[in-house]
Amino acid sequence: MKEIIRNNNSGLNKEIIRKSDSGLSDDILKQSLKESLEACGKPLRKVLLLPPDLTRYHSYTGRLTNWYYKMLSGTCQVDIMPALGTHMPMTDEELNDMFGEDIPRECFFQHNWRDDVVTLGQVPASFVREVSGGLIEYPIEVQVNKHLLDPSYDLIISLGQVVPHEVVGMANYTKNILVGCGGFDMINKSHMLGAVYGMEKMMGRADTPVRRVFDYAEEHYLKDIPLMYALTVTTQADGKTNVNGLFIGRGRRIFEEAAALSQQKNLTFIDEPFKKVVVYLDPIEFKSTWLGDKSIYRTRMAIADGGELIVLAPGVRQFGEDPGNDLLIRKYGYAGRDRILELYKINEDLKNNLSVAAHLIHGSSDGRFSITYAVEKLSREEVEGVHYKYMPYKEAAAKYNPQVLRDGFNTLSDGETIYYISNPALGLWALRKTFEQNT
C-alpha cells in the first residue's frame, strides 16, 4: 500500500491519499475518513453529504457515506443529498441498497435540477470559445443546489468515483457539484460542449474543455463553500469491488492523482479492434438508455468499422431519465452527430434541451458499427424507433449468457469469438492508436 498524507496546515486543505494495487481494507478506509474529519479542526454541528446515486453503485461511496454518517451522527446533524444530476430520484429500496438500512429516511432529500438551484455567476462566452477552440461560444451559468449555500453547514463532503467519462473526460471532483448538484443551464451547455468538441478527444483525460469550465467555476464561485472531496478509484474482480485509491481533500491535486490512477486501472488498451462486443447492463443500475448508452460511449474507440455491439439490457424500460427528456429521445432518436446538429439548429425543443441533443450524439455510432439493444421492457417498435436494432432479451441471453461469460474474450459453443464487458460504467476500452491520435 502506498500512503501519502499532505498537511498544508489549513484545515480542509489537508490531503489524505492512499493507494493499493490489491485494494484498501475497510479498516484503512474508515481510518482515513476519521482522519479527514479530525483535520477540519473545528466542531461539526451540521454536515451535508453529497454521494452519487445508484448509477455509481460500484464506487464504494455508498459504504463511505454510511461510515461518515455513523462517525458524525452522534454529535451533529447529518443530511444526505445524492448528486442526481438529471437522473431519476432514488427509491427507498435503492437508498437501502446503496447506503444501508440503518440511515433514517428523514436524513435524505432529493436534488431537483430544474427548481432547487441558485445561480452564482457565469462562465463567460469568451472563455468557452477559448477552451473549445472556437467551436462553441455561449456563456454558461454556474448553478448549484440551494442547500450548498446554507451557512448552517459546517462541512459539505462530496463523495464520488473518478473514472473515464464521456462528457468531462474523467468523472467527479467538481462535476459532482456543478452537474450532480447543478442546474439546467450548466448541465445542458456542458454536455453540448463535450459532444461538439468530441468524445474521443476527451474520454480518459483529466484536462478537457468541460473540465476547464468546471475549474473556472470552482475558482470564481465555489471558494466560500466549505467543501471537502472524498474520491475513490475502484476495480472489479470476481464480483467484488476493490478500492484501489482513496483521495480526500479540497484542491485539484487530489483529482489529478485520482485521475492518474484511474487511467492505470480503468483504461483497457487494445492493438486490434473488436469485431463483436457484448455488454451487460445490471438491471439494478441501468433502467434507461440515457445511462445504458455507456455501453456505446465506453467501447466506441475499440469497435471495428462494420463491427457489432450487442447490449444485454434486462432492466432498461425507457430512454430518458425524466419524462421530458424521454419524449425528445423518442421524437428524434439516435440519428448520428451530423443529423442531430442539423436538427438542433432548426428545432427549439432541442435548442432548449442541449443535454438531450448531446446525448443523442453520444448514443450513436454514426453508422460505423451496429448497435442492438436486447430488452424485455421495451417493444421492437420503441427500440427501432430510436434507430437501434432490437432483439428479445431471452433470445440474446440464451446465446450470450451473462451468468457464463467472463470479462474479456469468450469463444461461444458455435465457435464465434466475442468480447464481453460485465459493466461498462467501470472503464474505457480503446484502440491504442485511436486514443493516441485524439490526444
Question: What pLDDT does residue 10 have?
Answer: 41
Distance CA 344, CA 335 (A): 12
Question: pLDDT of 119-132, one tens digit each?
Answer: 999 999 999 999 99
- Cα–Cα dist 32/38, whole Å: 10
342-346 contact pairs (CB < 8 A, 24+)? none
What are the distances in angstroms from CA 62 to CA 79, 107, 170, 202, 364?
14, 14, 20, 28, 32
What is the rounded CA–CA span in Å between residue 3 and residue 16? Answer: 8
Cβ contact 286:313 at 8 Å:
yes
pLDDT at residue 86 is higher than 80: no
DSSP 251: S
The H or E element containing residue 3 is strand 2-6
Amino acid at 41: G
Q: Which residue in 122, 158, 152 sits closest to 140, CA to CA? A: 122
pLDDT band at 8 (very low <50, low <70, confident <90, very high): very low
With a pLDDT cut of 90, the percent of the chain lying above it is 84
List C-alpha distances in Å: 139 to 155, 188, 190, 208, 367. Answer: 30, 12, 10, 17, 32
pLDDT of 372-407, one tens digit each?
999 999 999 999 999 999 999 999 999 999 999 999
And the C-alpha cell for 262?
484511474
Domains (range + CATH), the chain: 2-265 (3.40.50.11440), 268-437 (3.90.226.30)
Instruction: Report pLDDT digits (tens) over 397-406.
Output: 999 999 999 9
221-277 residue pLDDT tens: 999 999 999 999 999 887 789 999 999 999 999 999 999 999 999 999 999 999 999
Q: Which residues contact 433 (CB under 8 A, 6 or more apart)?
A: 271
How many whole angstroms separate alpha carbon 192 and alpha carbon 300?
19
Q: What are the residues facing 248 on neighbouring strands? A: 16, 230
Q: What is the distance, to the nearest Å, from the Cα of residue 434 to the centroid of all Cα atoms in its chain?
A: 22
- Average confidence score pLDDT of the chain: 93
| CA angle at 71 for the pair 66 and 76, rounded to the nearest 5° | 105
Nearest to 354 by CA among 150, 168, 154, 189: 189
Nearest-angstrom CA–CA distance, 375 and 10: 52
395 φ, ψ (degrees, to nearest 5): -65, -45
The C-alpha atoms of residue 373 and residue 288 are separated, in whole angstroms, by 11
- What DSSP character marks residue 136? -
Q: Pick from 312, 311, 304, 309: which is nearest to 274 by CA? A: 304
Q: What is the per-residue pLDDT for 5? A: 52
Coil, strand or helix at 335: coil
Residue 67 near residue 33, CB atoms below 8 Å: yes
Alpha helices in 112-208 (DSSP H): 125-131, 175-178, 184-197
Q: What is the distance between the alpha carbons of residues 209 and 173, in angstroms, rounded to a whole number?
A: 15
Say if CB 276 and CB 419 are below 8 A apart. Answer: yes
Q: What is the pLDDT of residue 87?
A: 78
Note whether 76 and 42 are within 8 A (CB): no
- Rounded to whole angstroms, the Cα distance separating 349 from 340 reads 12
Closest C-alpha among 399, 398, 431 to residue 418: 399
Name the amino acid, one letter, at 396: A
DSSP reduced 3-state for 286? coil
Tell me, what DSSP letter sits at residue 10? S
User: Does the structure show a pLDDT above 70 at 303?
Assistant: yes
Nearest-angstrom CA–CA distance, 146 and 149: 6
Q: What is the pLDDT of residue 58?
A: 81
CB 176, CB 160: distance < 8 Å:
yes
Sign of the CA dihedral with 249 first, then 251, 254, and 255 last: positive
Per-residue pLDDT tens over the stretch 21-76: 999 999 999 999 999 999 998 899 999 999 998 777 788 999 999 999 999 999 99
Residue type, 405: L
Taking alpha carbons only, the member of 175, 160, 392 closest to residue 262 is 160
